[in-house]
Structure formats: structure tokens, C-alpha cells
Structure 1
Amino acid sequence: MVAFNKFFTSVLLAIVYASSSLAAPSPINSKHATHRTREIARGVKLETYHPVSTYETFGTGIDHPLRKRAGVSFKESSVAFIQSKLGVAAENAVFHSGYTADVVTHAYAKQAHEGIFFANAVANVAFNSDDKVVAFGSSFVKPTSIAPSTPAVSFEDAVATAEDALGGTYNGHPAEVKYFAKEDGSAALVHAFQVQNTESGSWYEAFVDAHSNELLSVVDYVAQASYLVLPITKELLTQGFETLTDPADVKASPKGWHWTGTTNSTTTTGNNVITYKNSQSAVSKQSAAGQVFSYKQDPSKAPTVAANLDASRTNNFYIINTVHDISYRYGFTEAAFNFQKDNFGNGGEEGDRVTASIQDSAGTDNADFSTPPDGQSGHMRMYLFTSTTPERDGALENDIPVHENTHGITNRMTGGGTGACLQSTEAGGMGEGWSDAMAEWTEQTSATIKDYTMGQYVTGDPAGIRTHPYSTSKTVNPLTYASVGTLNEVHNIGEVWANMLHNVYAELVGELGFSKTAHTDPTGTEGNVVFLHLFIDALALQPCSPTFLTARDSWIQADVNRYDGANKCTIWKAFASRGLGVNAKNHKDDTSVPSDC
């Protein structure tokens, strides 16, 4: 549980507000409309080119050349309109696909040369119910030169080139020979085929020059979900939203965040978590195709209004998935009893993704997390907070779900997945401390060590919810190991442990530096990377019902296991600075360290 003495810390998410308006063409003054740089494999980047598209709308519609003729299909009408509009020959504009919707009929055509389609030169025509053209778009080109239509490079050689560049294999889908419009105005002949890597989740259509055997471009079939968020590294709403594209870490979530075991969802439902209100059918749906969730929270309105509820469910979905991915990278995997519906054959019991109830009606001014044994879903309940007007939603403050989700990590990893080894007062208090420490870790952005205050949003109190900020200064935070002996409430005990971990973190970062990529790259030697490795490693090492002493010893042992004890003295000094030295026992302070330190 969070348990609020005063207040917690803020981080809000909404998710990409993808709105667009269609208008007449405007001047192109950047590469955004025509280029995209992708990191395709092993750090290799490929800048792809897409011919400039023109687009026009025509209000109530304009006539096309065949409108007055009876018995003409929309396929014929679209080609006739393209011919008249662009001045191309009939054989160079070929109908490709189309359909009639409730009020509009859509037709799509490809540019062709000598019977060979262009891969990236297309046109679309829309007709209203009065058979008038209401919209027209085109990326047809007028090439300065066109390559011969007979390939000089074999298909097998082209496949080898693409597989090497893209880190995947040809998936057997029928290949084609196409033309490809290049930025220099020429048209290259290409082998076009699909390359997949099922392990990484990549899936491309590759275009390899059929005369030079050069990979010219790709189509990336993997939809990239976009999130307009206050990222997990930010604390306050005033720090501003950012657009995050595909934040899922494919090493931790190989099929993305929306995989449900058989398919990808278009809701706040996925392999790691489902977020909902009241019923698991009451999830947030994507606001636009392609897993776009565009729900911007309005703090001036009640949290229960539709947009704010969607923002809340989406934000919680983002946070829990992010914590899943970070902790997975550092060892909280399927085999280590984590929470996933599909374990992908990697061990552990599956079918236990987190179920997160948003704006739960069971309480207010709090949040909690239930951790049953591996194979049963962890359950999070997020409540509304009532000390402000309008009320505030705990799911819109990242520290709260990070704190709660960490209870699942510590309860699962301590004692081998039973969920039953942090039940004593001291162990339960340490559970609260680990959760605060993880929330603090996720918000670090530099090597600067600052005091950390939990909870400045949901209660509107800048002093936070704990009795003191977490600090290396004993003036700011005087808590020591001896304080535990005077406390009997788990959250108060948790503050002592969290502040000790704050000091360990400060010492490690001060000595080893800070990695800005620690969330996704656990291979670094920087202090924040070392800290989280030891944090996770020690959980699995410590006994059931750990104490401050046994947990401290687990950190020291974890350092031996992973780093050959290189950080032994740094860790000892940090613990000893808060009374948990070599001779500490029975909640009496000791500041001594081993003699070789």
C-alpha cells in the first residue's frame, strides 16, 4: 500500500493526441513529409524516401470524365479522373483496390511503367453518393530516368542483401519486381519482398535495387504506438508532456504491450497488464487506428469525466508496462516469477498479468497491490484522492503505481514466488521502503543527488506524504536504524529503509557516475545501473521474512556475485552512515565498517 501521511509524487500520461486536418498542399520546408530515418538492425540507420504527396478536397464534389456515362464502375471512373488530373496515359495508372463505405466510395491506384507497378507512387480518389469526386491524393512521379525492366541481380542475391541488413529472414510471402521512385528523380527497378524476425518482432517489406543489389528502402509493418505523456522520469505536471513513440522495450515485451496471447488488442489490455474501471470489460479503447491513445487529462475537471478516466487508464497502462520492462531487464523475468499472461516458453507460471482497477470504488486516498503466488494475477487498486477540488486520481501520479507495482516485485522475488515472505512488521516495512526507492529511481535524470519528496500531486501538498524527504542530510532526514525500534507501522518503518537505499544510491552514483540509458540498458557500470542490479539481485538472495540486517547482507553478497565485491566498501559506508554498520543489532545504531574499508 501507499499509505499517505501527507502526499505522493506526480507523473501524468495521456497518449498521443493524433489529430489531423486535410487541406490543399502547402510548401514543403523540412524532410518530415518525405523522409524517415529508421534504425533497422545492429544500430544501422536507413533514411527512407517517400515522394511528395499532393492532396485536394472538393467540398460537395466535382465531376469526373465518366460521370454522365451509364454502367461505369468506380474503378474505371477513378482511373479516368487520374488520367485527366495528372495527364498520364491509361497504362500508367492502374486500379489497385477500393471499397464503398456508407457515404463515400474509395479507389486506390498505382503508377506503372511497362506493366510494372511503382512501390511508392500511388493515388487515391474518393467519390460521394452523387458520384462526384470529393478528394484526391497522389504521389505519382515524373521520373528523370527509368531503369531497364529486366533485373540484373538475382532474387536470391537480393534476399541475402536484405536479410543481412535487416537482421531477419525472407518469410516466403510472394515477392514482386517493382519500380521505386528515388529522391534524385530516377526510378529504380527493385526486388520487393518481406523480411521478418519473429524474435525481435520486426517485419519489413524490403526494396533491393535489381541492378545494383543495394537496399534502397523498407516499409515497416510494425505499428508504432504513440503516447503523449509526462514520462516516468518526470515528477510534476508542470514539467510538461512529451510524445513517446513505441516506448515498449522489445527485449522485455517481445510482442509489444498490447499482445494478448493470440493477437494485439486495441485497448488498455496486454500481456503485462489490463487497466479498467469496475469491470475488465471497461477498458479504454484506442482513439485512432494504430494503437494511438489520445486522452489528455484536464485537471480542471473531475477525474471521473470520460476523457480523464481514459487518460487515467492509459497512464496506468503505460506506467505498469514501463516498470515491467525495466524490472525485466534487471532480472524480474518469467523464471523469476514476474507478471505475464504469456511467458513465451521462458519458464515460470503464466496467466498472471497485473489487473489494475482504476478509480476503484473500494476506498479513497490510497492505493494497494495484492501479490498471490506465481501464476495468479497481481491486483492493483488505484483510488481517488479527496483533499483537493476537484479530486485527483492516483493513477495519474506515476509514483503511486510504480510504488504499488514494486510490491509485486519484492513479494514475488523474496521467497521464490510465494508472495508470502514479507509478512512480518519489519519485512513489511521494508517492502514499503523498496517501493519508495523504486519510485525514486525511475525519476532520476542525472548524477545530481537531490532530496526526494514523495507525493506532491494527489494531495496538493508540496511537503509530500512521508514524514521527511529522503536525503543524505541528517538535518533534513534524521532517521537511522535505531528509529525502527521506536516504530510499529510498516510505512513509517519503510521510510527508514527507503532513506538508507537513498544513501546507497547517492554513494554509488557519486563514485561510479550516472547512465541516462539505464531504463533499457542494464549493461553499464554506472552507479544507477549497479544500484538497480543489486536491488533486484538482493531480493532473490534474502531469506523469507528479511530484516534490515539480512537485507543489508544480501546487498553485500549481491555485489560479490555480480561485481566481485568491487562496491563492498561503498555500500557498507552508506548503510553505516544510517546506523546499519557491522555491529548493528536489535535496532541499535552502529557506524563501523569492515576493517578493510
Structure 2
Amino acid sequence: MRSFIILLSLLCLSATQVDAQSEIRYIINNYISVNSEVLGVNKTDYADWIVTDQYISRHNQVTHVYIRQKFNGIEVFNGIANFNIRNNKVLNMGNGLITDLSSKVNNQVPAINPIQATSLVADYFNLNASEIYITNAINSQEFVLSCDEISQNEIPIKLVYFANSDGSVVLCWDLSIYLLSGEHWYSVRVDAVSGEVIDIIDWVNHCEFGDHDHTVKSASQKQVSKSSTSFSKKAPDSYNVYAPPIESPNHGNRTLEVNPADTAASPFGWHDTNGINGFEFTITRGNNVHASEDANDDNLPGYSPDGSSTLDFNFPLNLNQDPSNYLDPAITNLFYWNNIMHDVWYKYGFDEASGNFQQNNYGKGGMGNDYVNADAQDGSGTNNANFATPPDGNNPRMQMFIWTGGGASNLLHVISPASIEGAYGAVVSSFGPAVGSTPITAKLVAAIDLAPDSLNACDGITNGSGLVGTIALIRRGDCQFTFKVQAAQDEGAIAVIIANNVPGAPFSMGGISSTITIPSVMISQADGNTLYNELFSGSIVNVTLVDSSANFNRDSDLDNGVIAHEYGHGISNRLTGGPSNSGCLSNAEQMGEGWSDFFGMIMTIEAGDSGKDIRGVGTYASGQSTQGDGIRPAPYSTDFAINDFTYASTNNTAAVSQPHGIGFVWCTILWDMTWELIDMYGFDPD
């Protein structure tokens, strides 16, 4: 009898779920039908679609539904729409449906198989894939492949249709490859007939913090000697960290946070994974995050501090040394802040059903097995950070880097002529080798290329033979820093100096490259003009690049604004297109960078703050004071004398880049709005 009752209950539950789905389908179809003229769709455009994601926001009882068009049983990759529904009424719709779909489809039969498609993608990215094999044939249109030579994970691949910008809709193989380096997690569409790679989305957000026009106030890195005054204390389940609203070591002291896990968001604590009282890990690992070092850049779990059976993560911290000597407190801070971001934003709707990051979803919906892999002091780069957000059910990865000093150090020394001899401020790039203690001395030569700007090395260097064995001088602008340095290296230069093209201090140039083997630095526009004027007057200029400073590097694992920024990418990517579609923020005008800055700002706001305050992003990591401009075109402030950027500023491509500069403008707008709301309703520290 008991078995019969259980079976009957399951049947009733299943019937209820089917009825609910039918009701949602009716509501959506009816809404599209009524608004078909405005939406520009015909009946065949929405005759077949699937729900890719659906969940309810508990605080307002709005049901969020994400759909994708299908044609002849095959999904249309970018034929998507989302609906917000309450009380059986569509409140609003985000429309990305492909119109006149049936007339645009080109083919229904693939000419290449999934292994061939994957091989073509490997060739496209210059990857060596000698053995690709099928591990699971789900059906005739969907497979799982494996190739350890090119991807950390298995390679899912299936047939989809893809709407091109020219209006055509082509049959494609849709696959994703997580490169062994961890620098890219490519989601790719390959034409299933021609084999052409026609669409690429990178699930890794490379923040390229240095690629902005900003002024660094401090000329050298401040030496910090703060350490925890509570180190002698012992407490169970405790973490000695820079807790909210403290943004960094420059903003305040560490505190011992005891039992900080939120009982709703993390009901079994931060070290549980099985949903039973008691912890499974005593290291910085649990249901929401696994924080460890990855200095050798193998994307495998490295060292993690152990809090023992009492979960006591109270470690001493002395910042006046290399970051590799304070791994325990740094990783503890990274672990703590990943968990805090999880717990706080859980309360605002980023929960299991909406695609948050948890190993065990405790039966509350969504896909589990996707806690954050947080890599401290990651060895894949410097002066940066990134966050990879795959679809729900796949582990995201946060990579936090060492920052090699803030502001301009005297890395550049002009040896001759005597008229300009002396030391010049320069900042090393985040890619390629750093300027070391061994001097690099050579003749300085201006790289010349084709018009319109003959000094920026973007259009083919014309004096390549003259760069062999020299240090190349190149002007900033029009193309990526890595492109410029690679171009000079290919011509035989042994180092590169980039002259800023706008007033202000130099900064660490952002970018990623595995092929650049020469150091590069940036100097100010004024210093660049001095060097160019001397060269164009006919003088022979000899220079030396050398780092003889004693400044200690900074660890971004202690810059909570940067951590929150990276975690924010995960939130916005999972919520915008639905948990299973994390590729909706890849266009140049997306607002993800702005939302991420906002996460960091709002997590560190406190009583007594004013909208007119100077709020620079990443001031600690970049070696600035708390009043520094940070790593954006300007600090955030409602004071127009400090930040005068408006939406119109996005038209100024020289001052506002895509997408990072556009994100900065968006966060400027959000920050103004935040203080308007505070002025109206008051400040609540919770």
C-alpha cells in the first residue's frame, strides 16, 4: 500500500508539472500571437520552441522563462527570447526571435561529421588535435567528444541552426572547447556544410584592467605593514579576512569572522558538500568554492590552507614580502569572499534554480556540480583577473593574478644623448616577460607603418629591417597592445616601449599572448613626445630597460573589489540569457563590465559614505592610495568634477573602449542611480 501511495503521489506531481508547462506555453504563444505584428514574426516562427530555463524569483513571485526556437526539430542557436510572467500575465519580453525562419534555412543535412567539425575548430585556433574520439553518442544530432590535447573538459557538440548577420540561417555544429591554458573557453559554431567557423563566444571574461585611459596618482607602491591584531585568538569556523565593507588592506584591518555562513544560502556551512550536518573538508573547499593556489598555471587544485578540525583559518599576514610568502591568508580571503558573494546574492535571487554556483543544490532546482574553482596567485598572467562562466552544471573558474607594482617605476633609462639623459617612469605590461634586474640596453628606433597613424604599428611595419636588435618605440592606439608588441617582435625587436596617446600617467597594458617573448612597457605621452622629437631630429637615442626597485608585488586575492568584480561576471552571465545560456554578454556594447564594477562598489559601501566620494576600482592591486583614480578612465563619484562621463561619452572611442569603457560608463550611471535612491530612501547597511 505504501508503494502504491508513493507511486500515486509521483504521478500526481508529474501531471501537475505537465499542466504548469502547458499553461506557460499557452501564455507565451498567446502573447506572441497578439503582438506578432509588433514583433515581426509569423506563425511558423513560433510554431516550435523549447523552454531552455525557467525559475521563479521568490521575493516578487515573477516566473522567468527563456525559450529557443526550433526548426524541423533542430534548435536555432540565437533564436531566443525571455519572458517575465506573474499572475499568468507577461510583464515584459526580451525578443531575439528569428523572423521568417522557414524561408531563411539553407540546409538540413550536415556534410561534415562532429569529429571533422572539432578538428576544423582546432585548426582555426592553431591547436594540435591528432586524436579526437566520440565518448557518447546521445543521438544522431548530439555527441560528446574527447581530446586531451586541446581541451581540459569533454567537448559537447550538437547540430543547431545559426542566424547570420546577412539574414541567412545555416546548419551548424555547436561545440565548446576549454583550452588547456584556461585562458579561453570557446563556444563555437561551425558551418556543417562548408566547415567554416562562423561564430565564436569566449566564456572567459578577460577584464584587461590595464587597457583604459586613467591616471595613476601614486608614483610608487606604498609599503604596508598591517597584520591582524586577532591572530592569537582561537575560534571554531573562523576566518581572519578583510570582511565587508573593507575593500582592501589600504581600506582597513582584517577581522576574525566567526560562523559567517548564511543559514538560507549555505544551510550546512561553507565546508559541506553532502547536505548532512558536519563538514567534508577542512581546507578552503566546500559547496560553493574550492580556493587554492595555481602558481604553475596547470588549472589543477594546488595548495589550500587547512583550518584543521576546528575550521580555524586565522593566519598571520605581513604584506612587506613577496605574495608567495602569505598564501594562507590570501587564499583564506579569496575563499571567504567567494562564499560571501554566493550568500549575499542568493538573497537577491541568484539561487540554485537561477543557476548559481554550488556542488550540491540540496534539491532546490538547477544543475549542481558547478562550484567555483578559485585560483589564487594564478601563474597565467599578471596585473589582471578573469572569470570563466560556462552553462549551469559546469564549473566556473576565477583566476586572480599577482600585480607587479603600481604606478610608474623608473624602468626606462635614457643613456644618450645627454640632452634627454635620465630615468623615466614606465609600467610593465601584463603579458610577455617582465623587465628584470638584468639590463636590456639597445638603440631606440621608432616603428613606422602605413597610414593613417604611421607610428602605431597597426598597419604593417615598413622599417622592419631597422628594428632588428633594437628597442622599438610605438604609439598607443587603434589596435591591441599585444598586436603592436608581436609585430615589433616579429621584425626582430628585443623590447618595446609604448607611448601613451593621451595625457596622463602610463599604466599596465592589458592583453593575453602565449607567443610574445620580449618585455614591453608603457610611458607617458609627454615622455613619448620627448623621445619622438629627439629621434625625428636625427639623434641616435640609446636606452636601457632595467628593474632595480625593491617594491613588493601586490596580490589581487586581497583586493575585494576585484574579487567581487570577477564573481559578478558569473552572476550576470548566468542571469542574462538563463542558466543554460551563458554567452549573451559577448557583444561590444554589453553592460557586464559595468555590472561587475557595481558588484564591487555596492559590496564595500558603508555608513558615512557620500556619493561624492572618490571610489577607484582596484586601487590596492594597482599600488594606489584609497583616493587614487583606480583602473578605470576615472574614479566613480557623483561629483561631476571627479567623473564627468555620461552616456554620450560612449561615442568617444579614444577615451572609452569596448566593452570595458562602455561598462565603466554604465556603472557610472548605476552609481548615480544608487545615490539617488539612498537620498530618497536612506542607507541600509544590510
Structure 1-normalised TM-score?
A: 0.49
Structure 2-normalised TM-score?
A: 0.43
Q: Which has the larger radius of gyration?
A: 1
